[in-house]
Amino acid sequence: MNHILLGVLVAVALGLYFKKGIQGEWQLFCGDRRLWLKRTWKEWGEPFVVAAIIAIVIRSFVLGPYKIPTGSMRPTLMEQDRIFVDKITYRFREPKRGEIIVFKYPEEPKKDFVKRLIAFGGEKVIIKEGNVFVNGTKLQELAHAPIFYYYNREDWTYGKEGETILVPDHSFFVLGDNSAHSSDSRNWGFVPRRNLVGRAFLVWWPLRRIGFLK
C-alpha cells in the first residue's frame, strides 16, 4: 500500500513539474495531431530507434554482457559474476592459449559456456598427476596461465589418467579452472572453431570483483 501511495505522489509531483509542457503538448495534439505526431517522432521516436539499433549491433558483434551461472571457473570467475565478452578481437586474430573463451556448447548450441582454452587442433594433450601437457610440454610453460590442479576422470571419454588426446583440426580443447566441478572437454569433447563467441576479459559486477581477467 505504501508503494502505491508513493507512486501516486511521484506521479502527481511530476505532473505539476511538467504542467506547462503537458498543457502545451495537449493543445498541439488537439489542434494539429499530424504535426504533433511528426514532432514527437522527430524528438523521441528517431533517437530511440537509432539508439536501439546501435545497442543491438554492439551486443551482437562487438561487446556482450554475460552472467556466470556455475562455479566451474572458480576462483577466476564466481557464480553470479557478470562479465563482458569481446566479440570482435577473434575476427582479426586467432585465440591464444590460456585465454578465457565463451563458446556455444557443442551438445546444445543455444547455451553459452565459458572455459579456459588449453590446446588447438592438431595438438596432443595429456592430463597426468594434476598437470596438463600439450605436445609434451607443461601448460604453464606454454602460456601465462594460472596454475590449477586438473583432475583425471576415468569415467569420462577424454579425462583418463595419462591418455593422449589428439585435438581435431579447427577445434579447441578447453578446461574449467575449477577442475573438480567442471564439465568440459574431458567429458564432452572439443569445441569447433565455428562455435567460438568471444573472449571474456572483464568482470564488471559485483563491484568488489571488478577487474580484467588474465
User: Which of 72, 179, 182, 185 is an active site residue?
Assistant: 72
60-61-63-65 Cα dihedral, nearest 10 degrees: 20
User: Which of 60, 96, 115, 185 is an active site residue?
Assistant: 115
Distances in whole angstroms, Cα of residue 138 to Cα of each of 36, 50, 143, 168: 70, 50, 9, 20
DSSP for residue 25: H
Active site (annotated) includes residue 60: no
Active site (annotated) includes residue 72: yes
Cis peptide, bond prior to residue 206, ω within 30 of zero: yes
C-alpha cell at 192: 569447433
DSSP-derived 3-state class of residue 55: helix
Catalytic residues: 72, 115
